[in-house]
Every structure is written in C-alpha cells, then in structure tokens.
Homo-oligomer: A and B are copies of this chain.
Amino acid sequence: MKPGPTIQDIAAAAGVSKSTVSLVLQDSPRIKAETAEKVREAARTLGYVYNRGAANLRGRRSTTVGMVINDLTNPFFVELLVAIERVLAQSGYTTLMAHTAENVETQTRVLRSMREQNVAGLIMSPALGTPGSLTAEIQSWGIPLVLVMRPMGTDVDTVGVNNAHGFALSTEHLIQQGHTRIAFAGNRSGYTVANQRRQGYLSTMAAHGLAVEDNWIVDVELTPNGGRDAVRAIFDMKPRPTAVVCYNDQVAFGVLHELDRMGKRAGKALAVVGCDNVVASEHTNPPLTTLSAGADKLGTMASRTLLARLEGADDIGDDVVQFFAEPELIVRESSVGHQSARTAVEWRKGGSVQPARKSKDPV
C-alpha cells in the first residue's frame, strides 16, 4: 500500500486549505462553485481516493454494517444475504459478512471482531443454541441489531415468518388431499422456529381430529441427508404415513431423492411439502410444494428496519419492530396425485393456494 494523496495534497495543488477540500468532497453549498471545481480538478489529476476510515474516525460514525449469517449451505439464507447486501449497498453502506456455520463460538468471535471494526449496526440470523442473553449484550453496545428468521424475545427488532401459520397451511393442504397419516421431518425441539413449525402441524392435525403417533415426528438433521433418513424411517412404520411435512426445502430435497432411489415418486408414494421456496425447489423432480415467505422481501425488510434505526427515522419510533411475514403455499407436484387423494389436476395449474395475508409493514 503506497501512500497516495491526501486532502492536504489536494489543498496544496488547488491552492486552498484542507478545510475547503473537505467541504468540497462533501458537496457543501458553502463553497463557491469555481473553487469547488478547481478542487475537484486537482483531486482528479492527483488520483485522490477518499479515506472513509479516517472520516469515520473523526466524524464518529460508520458506514459499515455487519451481517452475521448462520448457514450459507442453505440457499434460503443466501437469497436473504443477497437481498440485504443489495439494499444496504444502495443506501451507501458496505456489508461486512461473516458465516458462523451454526457455531456459537464462531458467532461470538465474529461479533467481537465486527464490534472492533466499528460497524454501525448488525443484522444477524443467530446460530442455533445462541444464549438468550446475547441480544441484550449486543444492544448494550449501543448499535442497532435486527434479527432475521430466528426470533429471540420481544425486546429486539425482528424480521421473520409466521411459521405456525405456514405449517398449518401445509398440513391443511395435505389433509384436504385426503391424507390422515402425516409425518413431520426435522424435529428440533427447544428451538423457537422448530417449535413453531411443529406446533403449526400438530395443532392443525388436532383441529381435524387426527391422531399423531410419536414416531411420526422424525428427528433428523436439517439437510438433504436428514431427509433421506426420514424417508427410511417413515417406510419402516406401519401403518406408514402417506405424507410428510418437512422442516425446510433442504430436508425435502433429501426426501425427494431417497424416494427416487427407492423407485418411488414423491406425490404418488408419499406426499411431500417443504418450506422456504428456494429457487431450486421449482426444478426438482418432481417439483416441490413448499411455503414461500419471500427471501427477497424479508431481506429488504430487515435492511430497511436497520437503516431506519441508523438514520433515526421518526416513522419507526421507539417501538420494537416485530415483523412476521405470512407465508403462502406454492403447490407443485410433490404433494399431489396420491392414490388416496383427490385428483391432482386442479392443483397442477400451479400458483398459490392461499392469498397470504400480509402483516402491516413496520418501517
């Protein structure tokens, strides 16, 4: 890294003071147009590069936002990250990215690092097992924090999904297809999101007077391999479930794959529903029925919430933002066409089954 010219050098070249240069760089109207042009000219010829770090130090501000993400092997979180980065960049912020790979110690380390880097704010999807005290600790740092996807209490701005309602929709859909024995793949008791999803499934089953055997709630990894394990477990049950609600699309992909390996077809042999509507879910064989809450919308919402806090926008107020998008069910082939179900033709037209109710936009 060679030195490079500073505002001092520009000042000398343009025959003005560095105060003037600084003001010109900030497009201040206090500087006469011709002076400004002279300064800009000098900056151009010298190849000046603004040093944002120095400016931030002096101005006690920061144009960097930290984004802590738990699982980039799940395309849903990638879609979220992309949306967040895009919106922040549009507003002039740079994104410091860190991946925790669902590891709480890594998360602690990167948060400390981001704090030292003086981030203006943080967006985080906390790793599973994050202690409940973390949000209060971050808030004590005096920078805004927005949680995405994984709520941790009502004291912190949160953008997520109404999981209970979503999984109720999925379960309802399967029941309407004629299924009565429906399994749930990807249990993670004790974690908020997992509890919500399981609860949405359980309460809908109960509402229809359908019993749920204990072993129908299959505890597997939240990965394609977990989905494969789930299929093997389900086909060992008798009488076996004819449908399965999966924790997310990653699990559902494994389910579709294992069924294919067994020479069976999802939809026919076992109705399958995922969650997240990742891009790939449209191109699986067969295409996957899944819940969509809109990664792009959620990411935009999370960024906007953080930006509102950063700019101290008054339309956001002091109230904690708790936004939970209402997912809609995207019906595709993986959940229709079962022998014991109604004809699937009406479903194959595609599209959403339920015009999702939108919550009020908080920012």
In the assembled complex, the Cα of A52 lies from the Cα of B117 at a distance in Å of: 6
Residues of B within 8 A of A141 (CB): 49
Contacts of A75 in B (CB 8 A): 75, 78
CA distance A92 to B341 in the complex (A): 57
Q: A62 at interface (Cβ–Cβ under 8 A)?
A: yes
**Does B94 contact A114, Cβ atoms closer than 8 Å?**
yes
Q: Cα distance A119–B87 when bound, in Å?
A: 21
Closest-by-CB residue of B relative to A118 is B53
Distance (Å) between the CB of A113 and the closest chain B CB?
A: 6
Can you list, as one digit per residue, whether each of A231-243 has a CB less than 8 Å from chain B (1) or not (0)? 0000000000000
Contact status B53-A117, CB under 8 Å: yes
- Given A60-B1, A283-B253, A113-B94 contact (CB < 8 Å): yes
Q: Is A230 an interface residue (CB 8 A)?
A: no
Check A51 against B116 for contact (C-beta < 8 Å).
yes
Q: Which residue of B lies closest to A75 (CB)?
A: B75
A190-198, A206-214, A254-262: which lies at the interface: A254-262
Q: How large is the interface on A (under 10, 10 to 19, 20 to 34, 35 or more residues)?
A: 35 or more
A94 in complex: contacting residue of B86, B96, B283, B286, CB < 8 Å:
B96
CA distance A73 to B81 in the complex (A): 11
Mark A104-117 against chain B: 1 for CB-CB distance below 8 A, else 0: 00000110011111
Instruction: Identify 21 residue pairs between A and B in the complex whose beta-carbon atoms are under 8 Å apart, listed by A's number.
Output: A2-B142, A52-B116, A52-B118, A53-B117, A72-B78, A73-B78, A73-B279, A85-B97, A85-B99, A86-B99, A89-B113, A94-B114, A94-B117, A96-B96, A224-B283, A253-B280, A256-B285, A257-B283, A260-B285, A280-B280, A284-B284
Chain A positions within 8 Å of B, measured between CB atoms, are 1-2, 4, 49-54, 56-57, 60-62, 64, 67, 72-73, 75, 78, 81-82, 85-86, 89, 94-99, 101, 109-110, 113-118, 120, 141-143, 224, 253-254, 256-257, 260, 279-280, 282-287
Closest 10 pairs (CB-CB, A-B): A97-B97, A260-B285, A285-B285, A257-B283, A2-B142, A224-B283, A52-B116, A50-B116, A53-B53, A53-B118
Given A51-B57, A257-B283, 7 additional A-B pairs, CB 8 A: A1-B61, A53-B57, A85-B99, A86-B101, A96-B96, A253-B280, A284-B285
